[in-house]
Amino acid sequence: MDLLNTLVDKGLRRETPTRAEALAVLATSDDDLLEVVAAAGKVRRHWFGRRVKLNYLVNLKSGLCPEDCSYCSQRLGSEAGILKYTWLKPDQASQAAAAGLAGGAKRVCLVASGRGPTDRDVDRVSDTIKAIKEQNEDVEVCACLGLLSDGQAERLREAGADAYNHNLNTSESTYGDITTTHTYADRVDTVRKAHAAGLSACSGLIAGMGESDEDLVDVVFSLRELDPDSVPVNFLIPFEGTPLAKEWNLTPQRCLRILAMVRFVCPDVEVRIAGGREVHLRTMQPLALHLANSVFLGDYLTSEGQAGKADLEMIADAGFEVEGTDQVTLPEHRAGGGCGSGEGGGVCGPAATAAGSCGSAAEEPRTDLVAVRRRGAGTDLAPNA
């Protein structure tokens, strides 16, 4: 297929595809799916080999968020029966992180619900980062605390944070349809603050919220312009009790096409399969490893994920290997002696239907696959890692 040959050539040269080419990837048929995966897999292997980076989430503060993000089970007015608790103490968070690190995770992502951190919250998280690094000096720590105020990114960096996550989630033109309590521009500003402070920028998207192909391409091109080091691709988990509970728009095939499009547009960036992979990719998860070079291990913020042991078996059975702490995640031209390089310091660097013209239509809702997290951080039960 001429399109795929062109995209592979561009990916190997780090050349940006055209919007038409990105849209064409999403419009390919299920009959061509394996060709699409194979083509994007060439780009993935060129820049990242067969390594898979493992990341582990620790939810420092769950629920009770004042923001109204429609996709989120922790949102204002959410009726989802999730765990709700206030800030974990540093030793509790460190203990939770240790489980993920023991399972092979290289990065710990510290997440807290809310609009953004107060200065006292930054102090709390700084103490947590130090506690984790005292026990595991080689671990990467990414903070995800919402919108940042001036100077907060610098303080997190001084405390030992390596990265900061803040997702764009969807296109600028449709952002107001999913959130009204803050703006798309607010999110862009926070990613830029993190980058400017010397933190590795991590920013991604959520697919499956009723967006069009054009929306998906818009947000991925916006991410390319922001130039984060890692791009998490989330697939909406339609929690009962949230406004998007009925949005079951994804098939495994569409998820794979979305991941392939992201890889072609962001060829040399850490593409991470994030929330919802078990719900929407299901038995097709191993194919996604040919597109993304990073996954979350175990559970998510408020939902259960695949067993950690099953994740590791899947990676090995698919012919991939877990990336070690002594290995560099990013290609040399991106690493810059910062996060993921193995060295200290430095900067790392509702519209159309979701099926559209992309082949298979959405299937019946698989509500049986949405399990609220009841173990790990904030509970007395052992975590899944």
- Given a contact cutoff of 8 angstroms between Cβ atoms, the answer to whether 168 and 219 are in contact is yes
Across 69-86, b (16+ Cβ under 10 Å) vs e yields bbbbbbbeebebebbeee
Catalytic residue flag (residue 109): yes
- Given a contact cutoff of 8 angstroms between Cβ atoms, the answer to whether 233 and 259 are in contact is yes
**Which CA distances in Å does 350 have to 157, 251, 360?**
38, 18, 19
Which residue of the set 107, 187, 202, 254 is catalytic?
Answer: 202
Task: Report how far residue 212's alpha carbon sits from residue 209's, in angstroms, rounded to the nearest whole number.
Answer: 9
Which residue of the set 44, 65, 266, 277 is catalytic?
Answer: 65
Catalytic residue flag (residue 202): yes
Task: Report how far residue 252's alpha carbon sits from residue 279's, in angstroms, rounded to the nearest whole number.
Answer: 9
Which residue of the set 44, 69, 348, 358 is catalytic?
Answer: 69
Catalytic residue flag (residue 19): no
Catalytic residue flag (residue 266): no
Catalytic residue flag (residue 272): yes
Task: Report how far residue 208's alpha carbon sits from residue 223's, in angstroms, rounded to the nearest whole number.
Answer: 18
Which residue of the set 75, 109, 157, 334 is catalytic?
Answer: 109
3-state secondary structure of 42: helix
CA 140 to chain centre: 15
Which residue of the set 72, 144, 255, 339 is catalytic?
Answer: 72
Which residue of the set 75, 224, 272, 334 is catalytic?
Answer: 272
Structure tokens at 373: 């997290």
Which residue of the set 75, 124, 142, 144 is catalytic?
Answer: 142
H/E stretch holding 273 reads: strand 270-273
The set of catalytic residues is 65, 69, 72, 109, 142, 202, 272
